[in-house]
Structure 1
Amino acid sequence: MARHASDQARGEEAPSMRVSHGAPLGPLTTLGIGGPAATLAELTDPADFPEFVALADGCPGDPVCLGEGSNVLVGDLGCASAVLRMNTRGIRIGSADADGRVRVTVQAGHPLTDLVATTVAEGLSGMEMLAGIPGTTGATPVQNVGAYGQEVADTMVEVTAWDWRRRRTVRLDASACGLGHRTSVFKHSRRWVLLTLVFALRRSGLSTEITYPTVARQLDIPLGGRVPQAEAAEAVLAVRRRRGMVLCGTNTESRSIGSVFLSPEVSPAEADRLRALDAPVNRFPDGSSRVSASWLIREAGFGLGHRLAPGVRISSLHYTLVADDGARAADFSAAVDLVGRRVLDRTGVRLVPEIDFIGEGRRPAVVPG
């Protein structure tokens, strides 16, 4: 079966790429922080991408790609490089292959929340635990987005990208993308702009196994159980809402970038030491042992709602950083640095920010450890 959702063919009165100068970037991010873009291009029709290439060639520095801005901190001085806001939309669902996998091709600017909802409605299993994660689909492989036992690496099979170094469009299979724990070849690199992505899913009325206790409790089932996909997705959304991690308009608890810090990898000896302190240390698909960043922040003495810098505090719902009115990028960076230093002091573990900082101004530091 082939299906097109929101596909927009050239010639159907699709607007051309829109270019503006001096546009504020803060409102285009979930933090709502940051200065203006010297040049901002908003791409709706994929066929117009060559226009952006020509535009970027006339601007200083490496071009920046911005989706929904859900993992981005824009510097207070803004961005002198050309900024591309990827607004392309479209999902194409193909037929099952010999292995029973259905290839789903998605435009990079398509919202991940809509993609997940579409796959659940179509009975395609493999992405239901990603319900409620903000951002565009094109941003997901950058840090190998994952939650509650699923990650992009489980289902993504290839991407099409523009390679600024080779000056052409390239196709990369999943193995060439270097997908690891919240990382990839795309992370902290301006070499590529992701254009389309292909996922391989399986038709099933049931979800994958429920492996996270919080979701299992929400569903009132034992770990390892399976439920209808729609029920699994709704349970994940309920858990995320309680933690303030579903974006909802003016709610200041959602003015965040999700997990500010990676869950740090620890050695076997460190894992034993931390487990003796009742720290949640878990094994991850890449074979690493990692301790919860939230636990480390709490253990360092930060309470919910703790004020860290002007306009920046710990969320009142869970252990991440949120912005209030008046916050600046420099304040947010200072808050990140403060948390990192104190966690290292109190626990001996070094936190690493996973924020994508763009533009000019003070960046969050990586605390030496």
Structure 2
Amino acid sequence: MEIGVPKETKDQEFRVGLSPSSVRVLYENGHAVFVESGAGVGAGFTDEDFILAGAKIVSQAKDAWNRELVVKVKEPLKHEYEFIQKEQLLFTYLHLAADRTLTENLIDSGVCAIAYETVEIPDKKTLPLLTPMSIIAGRLAVQFGARFLERQQGGRGVLLGGVPGVRPGKVVILGGGVVGTEAARMAVGVGAHVQILDVNVERLAYLETLFGSRVELLYSNSLQIEAVVREADLLIGAVLVLGRRAPILVARSLVKQMLPGSVIVDVAVDQGGCVETLRPTSHTNPTYIDEGVVHYGVPNMPGAVPWTATQALNNSTLPYVLKLANQGLKALESDPALARGVNVQNHRLVHPAVQEVFPDLAH
């Protein structure tokens, strides 16, 4: 099969869909991989690295897109819609619940669009292709939060770890899944006071086995959220509802009550975000101030560490890419997890969760 790897065009997105080591595996399995020139530079991979792995370098994006299977990292942007083809396989993060325009264009094109974030192992209820980037995003949420708490960055000048005689910063994490857990690891590691809120009591019990008394574990409801968010130095949104838009848990009226110069990092922004005042930003302009609070809403956070993130992502995606390359659409019949990843096929919106977001497109 011919496989295309276009250069990512989202603002400061330096990851690449396939690493040279993944290209080598595909090449050894008899597939031809076409990589757009410069696609891997931001992640530390040169065109020569790809050539040595067996890839062919193409100079234009359209030549990478004009293949049976296209492997990317982030969703196609508007200037890329023209490259999407009927009966093509597109394998990437899509997050369609937050992007009606993209959803409509994928339906119109006739492409088979498989989203990394909805590939799900049925019996385990795990998301193998979302997990590696969730781990990175959770850890980065604290790293970025600490930076923007600095006074020079617009924050209130709080050191998360505190010092002897001065209390540490308070980190509130909404959601105890992979993102929330990894954020807590980092926050505990720097010595912050950490609270995690979640509606799943079993998950809270599991988190107690991880953190013991180092993290305050609270059942999430509106009154509890209001009580802890007001005092937070750093608020991290880590809410995931598979395929759907994230629910709004923090209203503008509550943001108004937060400490001036406190910071909100919403990792759920690519699914709409769970804070009413938060909107998508970019690595170029990552923050803005609303109601006196610093808001960080970059939807492709792992793009900040592309060398790590590309390899972590490929470790998980390669087995599925290889199945698609070897079997084409038949891979969807033989692999239930991959089948659950299909969002759009044959001019139809087929993923149940996204259908609930756009019921008028589900026909």
Query: Given the two structures, how large is their TM-score scaled by the length of structure 2?
Result: 0.25
- Which structure has the highest helix share of the two? 2
Query: Given the two structures, how large is their TM-score scaled by the length of structure 1?
Result: 0.25
Larger RCO (CA within 8 A; separation ≥ 6): 2
- Which structure has the highest strand share of the two? 1
